[in-house]
Amino acid sequence: MSTTTTSTLPPLPATPETVKIGIVSISDRASTGVYEDKGLPALKDWLTGALHNPITFEPRLIPDEKDGISAALIELVNAGCSLVLTTGGTGPALRDVTPEATLAVADKEMPGFGEQMRQISLTFVPTAILSRQVAVIRGQSLIINLPGQPKAIAETLEGLKAADGTQKVNGIFAAVPYCIDLIGGPYLETRDEVCKGFRPKTAVRTRG
């Protein structure tokens, strides 16, 4: 077991470091211009509001094609994205192949993310059990499949709050910063009012 303490961790830089995040919207119709894509704007808005870190986004809008999705994920990881979020293509329909494409590029699967997303969504709709989102690690990148609807994206990322603003159910993003720490990525600093990232006390860094 690690004996690392806060006193031995390197201090944070004077300001939050810039992070590179890949965002991928997967839709046959949106990628061909049949209708406007809402996935990429939803991801950008939520991440910009949730993180203190400046973000360099790497956006992709692609069709539901397994090989193309896998290729895009590999490209984003190779481009230095510490986090890659996808939206769309995770249901049971024949064209929904995002989970298969994601697992095909994985070094490790992280099943807790998908389990928690379905638990959150089941609070709202019984059909949440049809969702097949997965999360994986490839190299030093965390890749997470998210739901397709902007409202569901926000709900699964930030969780559920009570009327008084206290957290009832943790969203999956609470675990993302520490996960990225563990795989050697940048130190993500969350805005607590949106989604408070959790780290063990021994993993919390401070500014020198």
Comparing CA positions, the residue from 153, 156, 173 lying closest to residue 51 is 173
pLDDT attached to residue 86 = 98
Count of domains forming the chain: 1
Would residue 109 count as lying in a domain?
yes
- DSSP H or E run through 143: strand 141-146
Which DSSP state fits 91? S
Q: What is the Cα–Cα distance from 23 to 1, expressed in whole angstroms?
A: 35
Torsions phi, psi for 25 (to 5 deg):
-105, 125
Would residue 9 count as lying in a domain?
no
Can you read off the two tokens belonging to residue 11? Answer: 């201090």
Would residue 193 count as lying in a domain?
yes
Residue 1 CA neighbour count, 13 Å, CB half: 3
Q: Which domain holds residue 42?
A: 16-203
Instruction: Specify the CATH number for the domain of residue 142.
Output: 3.40.980.10
Would residue 66 count as lying in a domain?
yes
Q: What is the Cα–Cα distance from 198 to 193, expressed in whole angstroms?
A: 13
Would residue 10 count as lying in a domain?
no
Would residue 6 count as lying in a domain?
no
Would residue 117 count as lying in a domain?
yes
Would residue 167 count as lying in a domain?
yes
List pLDDT tens digits, range 122-179.
Answer: 999 999 999 999 999 999 999 999 999 999 999 999 998 888 878 888 999 999 999 9
Number of Cβ atoms within 10 Å of the Cβ of 143? 25
Mean pLDDT of successive 10-residue stretches along the chain, which has 208 residues? 57 95 93 88 97 98 97 98 97 96 98 96 94 98 96 94 84 98 97 94 91
pLDDT attached to residue 163 = 83
pLDDT attached to residue 168 = 86
